[in-house]
């Protein structure tokens, strides 16, 4: 088999319409805008309405990424999420169906806020192994449904959303190339980020305490571990790519907390201007945060820009990789077009590629590039 690489060929994102500001939370919780902003950097977040699921958001983001890539078919779908539509079955096959992708392989990945990086590794490996020519990778979460609305330590942090990228097979070193994805985990810290009830260890029944049904986090321990693990794995990814801090144009890390982003950047020797920060507008969107940030800031990236991507999440889990930005989607690899053209059309129910609009379409708020003229390094 000839030497291959996995290239980013498309991207897209989606957030719900409903904006929840810190002022809104002040009226519901014992908190203040100053407290939230100072501790997290978050000023507002998006929450999905009850009729919009993780799968719905994933469909929107996936459709946008396919459109950007100029493809209507892929060989595989990988969805990273902690909030699937159902405990069983996985959400990815339904997403693939709604996108009109027929019977392609589709599966979920559960690594909480590191999920997208884990999913990216799975997709890249499939392309390098030759089992796929193109893969849609989606990160989507609806954390507003699993956080305790009365808990100011978690309710103020999380937002809902989805982000996606399309990977295609191409030539190593071409713009869009995703380098080796470095991953790690530490199960001794499993209780640092957890929803205790709802699994086989603690099934939900009438006697289950309400607190055990919600997401909980040991903030101090998580902060310390996140900074340490993110800095370590991002530095390893840079070293594997042979890049110095000066070579790196952007850090796109999991959008958990502005103080974490700042500490990781300092540990890597990167100025704040090279740190992509979406926290103020979207909060922590878990597995969606990295692909959402890539899509939302795509207009700031130039073709060939060197980007380090890193994430840390429950488990605990972490991962990082480097990639070069592909630039204008119109300049994507000719291989992507060839891949699209040689796909056999998928079979669809009732002859419709999307079987009608996805649930929640009327709440769509596709993330679009920021206004023209936004500086590359603000």
Query: Which are the catalytic amino acids?
Result: 113, 254, 284
Task: State the Cα–Cα distance between residues 88 and 10, nearest whole angstrom.
Answer: 29
Helix (H) or strand (E) holding 185: strand 182-185
CA distances from 81 to 25, 57, 78, 97, 236 (A): 25, 11, 10, 17, 25
Cα gap 2→234, rounded to integer Å: 29
The dihedral over CA atoms of 219, 224, 226, 231, expressed in degrees to the nearest 10, equals 160
C-alpha pair distances (Å), 123 with each of 2, 75, 79, 299, 335: 18, 10, 10, 24, 17
N-terminal to C-terminal alpha carbon distance within the chain? 44
Distances (CA, A) of 177 to 10, 74, 169, 327: 12, 18, 9, 12
Are 279 and 40 a contacting pair, CB within 8 Å?
yes
**Those residues with Cβ within 8 angstroms of residue 175's Cβ, 6 or more apart along the chain or in another chain:** 7, 303, 304, 324, 325, 326, 327, 331
User: Encoding tokens for residue 97?
Assistant: 């169906």
- Distance from C-alpha of 251 to C-alpha of 348, rounded to nearest angstrom: 40
Q: How many Cβ atoms are within 10 Å of 270's Cβ, its own excluded?
A: 20
- Decide the pairing of beta strands 160-170 and 306-313: unpaired
Q: State how far the Cα of 214 lies from the Cα of 151, in Å rounded to an integer.
A: 10
Return d(Cα 176, Cα 326) in angstroms, integer.
Answer: 4
């Amino acid at each position: 088999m000839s030497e291959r690489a996995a290239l980013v060929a498309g991207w897209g994102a989606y957030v719900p319409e409903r904006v929840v500001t810190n002022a809104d939370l002040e009226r519901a919780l014992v908190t203040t805008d100053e407290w939230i902003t100072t501790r997290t950097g978050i000023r507002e977040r998006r929450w999905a309405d009850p009729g919009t699921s993780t799968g719905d958001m994933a469909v929107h983001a996936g459709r946008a990424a396919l459109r950007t890539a100029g493809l209507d078919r892929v060989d595989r779908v990988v969805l990273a999420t902690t909030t699937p539509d159902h405990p069983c079955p996985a959400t990815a096959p339904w997403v693939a169906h709604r996108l009109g992708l027929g019977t392609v392989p589709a599966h979920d990945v559960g690594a909480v806020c590191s999920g997208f990086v884990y999913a990216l590794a799975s997709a890249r490996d499939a392309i390098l192994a030759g089992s796929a020519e193109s893969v849609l990778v989606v990160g989507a979460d609806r954390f507003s449904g699993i956080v305790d609305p009365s808990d100011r330590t978690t309710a103020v942090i999380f937002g809902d959303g989805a982000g996606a990228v399309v990977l295609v097979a191409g030539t190593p070193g071409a713009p869009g190339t995703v380098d080796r994805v470095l991953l790690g985990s530490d199960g001794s810290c499993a209780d640092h980020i957890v929803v205790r009830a709802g699994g086989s260890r603690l099934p939900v029944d009438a006697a289950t305490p309400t607190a055990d049904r919600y997401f909980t986090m040991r903030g101090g321990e998580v902060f310390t571990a996140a900074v340490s693990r993110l800095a370590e794995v991002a530095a390893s990814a840079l070293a594997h790519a042979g890049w110095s801090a000066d070579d790196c144009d952007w850090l796109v890390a999991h959008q958990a907390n502005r103080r974490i982003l700042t500490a990781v950047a300092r540990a890597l020797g990167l100025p704040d201007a090279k740190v992509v920060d979406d926290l103020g507008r979207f909060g922590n969107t878990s597995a969606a945060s990295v692909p959402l940030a890539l899509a939302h800031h795509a207009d700031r990236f130039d073709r060939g820009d060197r980007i380090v991507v890193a994430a840390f999440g429950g488990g605990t889990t972490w991962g990082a990789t480097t990639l070069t930005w592909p630039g204008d989607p119109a300049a994507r690899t000719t291989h992507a077009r060839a891949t699209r053209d040689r796909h056999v059309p998928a079979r669809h129910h009732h002859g419709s590629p999307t079987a009608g609009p996805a649930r929640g379409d009327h709440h769509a708020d596709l993330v679009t590039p920021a206004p023209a003229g936004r500086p590359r390094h603000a």
